[in-house]
C-alpha cells in the first residue's frame, strides 16, 4: 500500500534515508527524500515475515522503492514498539528479535538507529501542524513546558518531551506497564475479573486492543450473560454504529480509564505544554472519544483539578507522525 507524500522537518538528505515505524501488528516503511519529503510509504504485516530483516528487505525490493533508492540508501532509522537498551532487541508484542548491528550489516547501511516508537513519536510533537492534532476539552499550552504522550494500540505507549537549552529530550518510558488504578466500583469489578486472567494487571492490559476485549469479557461476566466473543475492532464498530449497548459501555470504560492514566502522566511530568494521545485506537473513535468521560476523568484529581483543567489534551490526527520523530533522531545522530 502506498500513500501520498508527507513532509517532515526540512532536513537536507543528499541520498534517500530509510524510515520505519514497527509495531506489534504492522511495520510501516518510508523513504525520506531530499528536502525532507517522506514518500513511498508501505505498510507490511509483521506476521507475514519471519524477521524484521526480511520485512525490511521486502520493502527495499518493492518496485517503486527500488527505483528511487537503488543502491543509494546508506542511513536508516527504525522506531519500534519495544524498549531499546543496547544492541539486542526482543519485541514484547511480537516474536521478532534482532541485533541492531547485525541488522545494519544485513541491509548494508552505514548507520542504523533504532529507537523506542514512543520516543520517536514524542520527538514529533513540536513539529505537528494545527491540522495534525485535535484538542479535546479546555486548557491552553504553556510555551516551553514539558509535553506528555500516551497512546493505545497493540500495547500502551507512554513518553514525554522535556525542554532544555539544547532542545528537546524524549523520555525512554515504559509507563504503560504501571499497575492499573481503578477509580470507582465498576473499575474495581473489572480489575477483579482481570486478576482471574493475570497476576499483575498493568494499564496496558486494559488500555490496548486486547484490553478492550478484556473489558468486554469482564462486563459480560459481571452481568452473568453469555455474550459472543468479539474482537476489539468489532466491539468498536458495534459501539460506534449504535448496535450494541454493551460494546458502547466497553468503549466508555476504555476512554475514562485512559483519562486516569493521562491525568497521572500530566501531574507526574508537570506537562503543562499539553498531553498528546496517539496510537491506533483513539483516532479511530473520532467524535465518540470527544464526548466520552475522558476529559472529565483527566481532570478528576481532587486538589489538582484546576491544575489539570489548565492542561490541554490533543488527539494526534497526523497519519504517520512517528516518521517525523525518527527522522529527527537520525539527523541528530548523523550530525554528532
Q: Is 37 annotated as a binding residue?
A: no
18 — phi, psi (to 5°)?
-85, 135
Rounded (10°) CA dihedral 326, 208, 258, 134: 50
Which residues, other chains included, contact 140 with Cβ-Cβ below 8 Å and sequence gap of 6+? 310, 312
Q: Is 20 annotated as a binding residue?
A: yes
Q: Which residues lie across from 286 on neighbouring strands?
A: none
From 124, 143, 144, select the one nearest 133 (Cα to Cα): 124
**What are the Cα distances from residue 235, in Å, to 180, 254, 285, 286, 288?**
22, 12, 11, 15, 13
Q: Is 21 annotated as a binding residue?
A: yes
Q: Is 222 annotated as a binding residue?
A: no
Q: Is 117 annotated as a binding residue?
A: no
198 — phi, psi (to 5°)?
-135, 140
Answer whether 231's CB lies under 8 Å from 213's CB: yes
Grid coordinates standing for 57? 528487505
Q: Is 270 annotated as a binding residue?
A: no
Residues of the binding site: 20-25
Residues of the binding site for ATP: 20-25
Amino acid at each position: 500500500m502506498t500513500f501520498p507524500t508527507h513532509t517532515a522537518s526540512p532536513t537536507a538528505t543528499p541520498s534517500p534515508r530509510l524510515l520505519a515505524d514497527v509495531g506489534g501488528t504492522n511495520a510501516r516503511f518510508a523513504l525520506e527524500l531530499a528536502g525532507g519529503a517522506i514518500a513511498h510509504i508501505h505498510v507490511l504485516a509483521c506476521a507475514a515475515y519471519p524477521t524484521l530483516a526480511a520485512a525490511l528487505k521486502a520493502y527495499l525490493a518493492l518496485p517503486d522503492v527500488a527505483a528511487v533508492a537503488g543502491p543509494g540508501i546508506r542511513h536508516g532509522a527504525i522506531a519500534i514498539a519495544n524498549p531499546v537498551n543496547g544492541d539486542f532487541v526482543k519485541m514484547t508484542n511480537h516474536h521478532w528479535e534482532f541485533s541492531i548491528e547485525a541488522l545494519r550489516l544485513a541491509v548494508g547501511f552505514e548507520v542504523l538507529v533504532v529507537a523506542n516508537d514512543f520516543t520517536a513519536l514524542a520527538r514529533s510533537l513540536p513539529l505537528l501542524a494545527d491540522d495534525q492534532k485535535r484538542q479535546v476539552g479546555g486548557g491552553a499550552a504553556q510555551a516551553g513546558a514539558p509535553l506528555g504522550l500516551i497512546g493505545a494500540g497493540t500495547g500502551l505507549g507512554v513518553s514525554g518531551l522535556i525542554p532544555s537549552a539544547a532542545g528537546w529530550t524524549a523520555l525512554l518510558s515504559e509507563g504503560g506497564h504501571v499497575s492499573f488504578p481503578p477509580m470507582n466500583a465498576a473499575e474495581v469489578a473489572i480489575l477483579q475479573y482481570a486478576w482471574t486472567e493475570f497476576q499483575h494487571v498493568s494499564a496496558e492490559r486494559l488500555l490496548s486492543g486486547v484490553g478492550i476485549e478484556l473489558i468486554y469479557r469482564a462486563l459480560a461476566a459481571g452481568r452473568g450473560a453469555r455474550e459472543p466473543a468479539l474482537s476489539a475492532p468489532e466491539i468498536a464498530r458495534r459501539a460506534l454504529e449504535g448496535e450494541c449497548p454493551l460494546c458502547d459501555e466497553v468503549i466508555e470504560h476504555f476512554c475514562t480509564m485512559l483519562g486516569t492514566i493521562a491525568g497521572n502522566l500530566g501531574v507526574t511530568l508537570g506537562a503543562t505544554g499539553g498531553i498528546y494521545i496517539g496510537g491506533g485506537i483513539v483516532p479511530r473513535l473520532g467524535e465518540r472519544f470527544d464526548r466520552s468521560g475522558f476529559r472529565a476523568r483527566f481532570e478528576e484529581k481532587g486538589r489538582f483539578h484546576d491544575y489539570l483543567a489548565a492542561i490541554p489534551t490533543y488527539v494526534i490526527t497526523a497519519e504517520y507522525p512517528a516518521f517525523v520523530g525518527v527522522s529527527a533522531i537520525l539527523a541528530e545522530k548523523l550530525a554528532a
